[in-house]
């Protein structure tokens, strides 16, 4: 065993022999995953923070007159290595975590928050930014340059640059505490998700479940050393169980476990964390001169005030609520005719809705699943990207990856230019958070003539292949894949100069347009027929099933829209407070969602305590963006429908005006350049079937 040199402590040794701090001499400059140990992160980030501080100080102390290049651009380029290391840490913490990695993330989070505060609270630096902002009209800036300057100035104002010294100190404390609380919130939800399992040993309790789901549950049991079949709260297991299990008492058990995660649990209770986060956000907004947190967040959005967001939600609620009640009545009547007594409960909805869908359209997820083999779906999505945007995807076994399940691709343009590295990470693991997301290990940006291309990752939780069949997708999972791939296109096709406004660094209520528009092709016969076939027989997906997919597109859309609007109302309620919240999380949630609660509430369940989008993600005061983006994508895709779903001219316009532009211009201006007009809700209402009478 090698001896440590006298005079060096462990942290110093980790810094000296730290792969995160060395040049990443890997193909395409990818993170050296195979060399990274958890213990490398804290010293690497500490060192990178110090280096970045030196860069920031050199900008602030520059004796030359403030200029766009020596101030705004220099700031955009500062701390690049720090950002890359932090991206590795936090992306792994979501996709391949451990208790040690969670501890590392918790340790560095306050450091990063403190560093962020050091930038925006640097008086000399802000003075240079402010001087440039005040004379921006006379600087001769391009549109992208002016956008960077404006966003930089706004970020300083929202980062507390205008506060006096006493308020600056409190502002720092708030940001550091929020950084730790949001991490703890996510950890609690993951722990609750992983800790529950439903073990079935009596074969009769599998009644109604499809063979493929049963196979997966048997393999889950075997992998965990248990007998029989095991079902978990991870979506690929939980959702089909709720849709197909004929055992109502087991559905109830699963529902109660899922809906009570991090709520009323001794060790992982998020109720107090929710209160603290909300109150700190409210206090932060007031420190900055805003009446509420939503006002602070929405200032830079397409819908830029709480009143506009609430008006939008109310408008859609008016249009859709009666259809939600229609859906409820239809499912209730169907259940009653099929042996159900009493009201439909929340653990009954997915089961009877799925059966009703099957009766009306002779279609359900399990009828379609054999036709949507994951491998073929991935190839088809790649071909679609090639048809629309001229891209090619080369799978590589040599590129650095963070887990053996991950697939790595080299993405090129039609002229063979390198565009991006794409990671695809499909299947659930104990260390992976639930859901699906796209993220970046490196954003695109330019430095002189050098164009640094992005490293993008799509992470999902699809059903694994079993010993008897390949990985098969439900149609819902197919649209999820396409949704996240749309985000990936936004990141990969970026052609901006400045990294802080490239790729998906856009307004939250605009970022979902590129993802949600991709979902539309999953309903188009011309595309589905080009690749889908039965994994056993090779039979093409029949036209009548594709027609049924299209017909079923609006099935329960009233209920689904009502549910999403409920989440939007809850989000706005939490972030529209103007004073400290001291009440009950449960009662507050119930009141906020009351107008959309068409099913009876379930005692012991709570949405807020596991609502990661709001309390561990970036959607606070922005969840409405999902519905707003549906309006945008319906309006945008109507142009593809008019000109052809593979029309290269329309695709080229979408690429040039939306996908390549990132946040380099105001989103409404970008949208109008593509569409020729502002969006209306008409296409969304028509697609959802909300004007066909009730």
Task: Write the secondary structure of 22-50 as one string of H (helix), E (strand) and C (coil).
Answer: CCCCCHHHCCCHHHCCHHHHHHHHHHHHH
Domain 370-557+625-688 has CATH 1.10.10.10: no
Give the Cβ contact number of residue 418 at 10 Å. Answer: 12
What is residue 362's predicted lDDT score, i.e. its pLDDT? 87
The phi-psi region of residue 252 (left if phi > 0; otherwise alpha if psi is between -120 and 50; otherwise beta) is alpha
CA 464 to chain centre: 21
Could you give the CA distance from residue 197 to residue 267 in angstroms, rounded to a whole number?
18
| CATH 1.10.1370.40 residue window(s) in the chain | 10-162, 370-557+625-688
Asked if 104 and 42 count as a contact pair (C-beta separation under 8 A), the reply is yes
Round to whole Å and give the CA distance between 458 and 464.
Answer: 16
For residue 617, the model assigns a pLDDT of 84
- Say if domain 10-162 classifies as CATH 1.10.10.10: no
In sequence order, the β-bridge partners of residue 407 are 424
Active-site position among 484, 519, 524, 630: 484
Q: Where are the beta strands (DSSP E) in 413-518?
A: 418-425, 437-442, 445-447, 450-452, 455-459
Position 692 scores a pLDDT of: 59
For 609-645, write each residue's pLDDT tens digit: 999 999 998 899 999 998 999 999 999 999 999 999 9
Q: Nearest CA to 302 among 597, 508, 62? A: 508
Determine the pLDDT at residue 10: 39
CA angle 106, 107, 112 (to 5 degrees): 95
Active site residue 204: no
Total-model pTM: 0.84
pLDDT digit string, tens, across residues 386-415: 999 999 999 999 999 999 999 999 999 999
DSSP state of 466: -
Count of beta carbons in the 10 Å neighbourhood of residue 537: 8
Q: Are 104 and 45 in contact (CB under 8 A)?
A: no
* Paired strand residues for 119: none
Neighbours of 430 (CB within 10 A): 13
**Residues of the chain scoring pLDDT < 50:** 1-13
Q: How far is CA 467 from the centre of its chain?
A: 31
Instruction: Give, as one character, the DSSP assignment of residue 68.
Output: I
**CA neighbor of 485 nearest in space, from 508, 506, 456:** 456
Closest to 615 (Cα-Cα) out of 232, 301, 180, 92 = 180
The rounded distance, in Å, linking the Cα atoms of 646 and 628 is: 25
Question: How many angstroms separate the CA atoms of 152 and 500, rounded?
Answer: 9
Looking at residue 4, its pLDDT comes to 29
């Amino acid at each position: 065993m090698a001896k440590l040199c006298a005079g060096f402590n462990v942290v110093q040794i980790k810094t000296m022999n730290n792969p995160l701090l060395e040049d990443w001499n890997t193909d395409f400059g990818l993170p050296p995953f195979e060399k990274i140990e958890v213990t490398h992160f804290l010293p690497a980030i500490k060192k990178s923070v110090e280096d970045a501080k030196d860069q920031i100080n050199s900008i602030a102390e520059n004796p030359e007159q403030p200029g766009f290049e020596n101030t705004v651009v220099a700031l955009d380029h500062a701390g690049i290595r720090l950002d890359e290391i932090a991206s590795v840490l936090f992306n792994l913490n979501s996709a391949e975590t451990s208790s040690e990695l969670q501890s590392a993330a918790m340790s560095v989070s306050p450091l990063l928050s403190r560093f962020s505060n050091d930038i925006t609270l640097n008086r000399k630096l802000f003075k240079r930014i402010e001087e440039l902002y005040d004379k921006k009209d006379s600087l001769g800036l391009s549109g992208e340059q002016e956008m960077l300057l404006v966003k930089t100035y706004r970020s300083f104002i929202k980062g507390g640059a205008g506060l006096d010294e006493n308020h600056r100190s409190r502002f720092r404390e708030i940001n550091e505490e929020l950084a730790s609380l949001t991490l703890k919130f996510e950890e609690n939800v993951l722990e609750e998700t992983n800790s529950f399992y439903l073990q079935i040993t009596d074969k009769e309790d599998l009644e109604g479940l499809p063979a493929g789901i049963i196979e997966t549950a048997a393999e889950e049991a075997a992998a965990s050393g248990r007998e029989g079949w095991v079902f978990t709260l991870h979506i690929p297991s939980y959702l089909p169980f709720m849709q197909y299990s004929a055992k109502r008492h087991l559905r109830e058990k699963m529902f109660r476990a899922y809906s009570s995660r991090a709520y009323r649990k001794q060790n992982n209770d998020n109720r107090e964390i929710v209160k603290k986060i909300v109150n700190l956000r409210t206090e932060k907004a007031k420190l900055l001169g805003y009446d509420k947190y939503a006002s602070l967040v929405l200032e830079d959005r397409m819908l830029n005030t709480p009143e506009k967001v609430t008006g939008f939600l109310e408008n859609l609620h008016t249009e859709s609520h009666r259809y939600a009640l229609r859906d409820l009545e239809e499912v209730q009547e169907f259940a009653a005719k099929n042996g159900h007594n009493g009201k439909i409960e929340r653990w009954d909805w997915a089961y009877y809705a799925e059966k009703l869908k099957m009766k009306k359209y002779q279609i359900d997820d399990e009828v379609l699943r054999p036709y949507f083999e994951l491998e073929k779906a991935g190839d088809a999505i790649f071909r679609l990207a090639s048809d629309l945007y001229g891209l090619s995807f080369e799978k590589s076994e040599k590129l650095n990856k963070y887990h053996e399940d991950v697939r790595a691709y080299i993405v090129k343009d039609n002229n063979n230019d390198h565009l991006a590295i794409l990671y695809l990470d499909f299947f659930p693991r104990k260390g992976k958070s639930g859901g699906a997301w796209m993220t970046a290990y490196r954003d695109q940006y330019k430095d002189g003539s050098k164009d640094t291309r992005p490293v993008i990752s799509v992470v999902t939780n699809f059903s694994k292949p079993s010993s008897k069949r390949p990985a098969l997708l439900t149609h819902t999972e197919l649209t999820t894949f396409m949704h996240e791939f749309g985000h990936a296109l936004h990141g990969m096709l970026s052609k901006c100069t400045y990294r802080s406004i490239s790729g998906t660094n856009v307004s939250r209520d605009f970022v979902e347009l590129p993802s949600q528009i991709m979902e539309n092709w999953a309903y188009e016969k011309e595309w589905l027929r080009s690749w889908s076939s039965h994994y056993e027989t090779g039979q093409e997906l029949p036209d009548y099933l594709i027609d049924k997919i299209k017909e079923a597109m609006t099935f329960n859309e009233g209920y689904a829209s009502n549910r999403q609007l409920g989440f939007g109302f809850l989000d706005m309620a939490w972030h529209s407070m103007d004073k400290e919240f001291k009440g009950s999380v449960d009662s507050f949630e119930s009141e906020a969602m009351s107008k959309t609660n068409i099913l009876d509430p379930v005692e012991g369940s709570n949405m807020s305590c596991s609502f990661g989008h709001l309390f561990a993600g970036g959607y606070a005061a922005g969840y409405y963006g999902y519905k707003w983006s549906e309006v945008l994508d319906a309006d945008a895709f109507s142009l593809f429908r008019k000109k052809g779903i593979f029309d290269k001219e329309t695709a080229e316009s979408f690429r040039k005006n939306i996908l390549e532009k990132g946040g380099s211009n105001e989103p409404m201006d970008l949208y109008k350049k593509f569409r020729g007009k502002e969006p209306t809700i008409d296409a969304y209402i028509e697609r959802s079937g909300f004007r066909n009478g009730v």
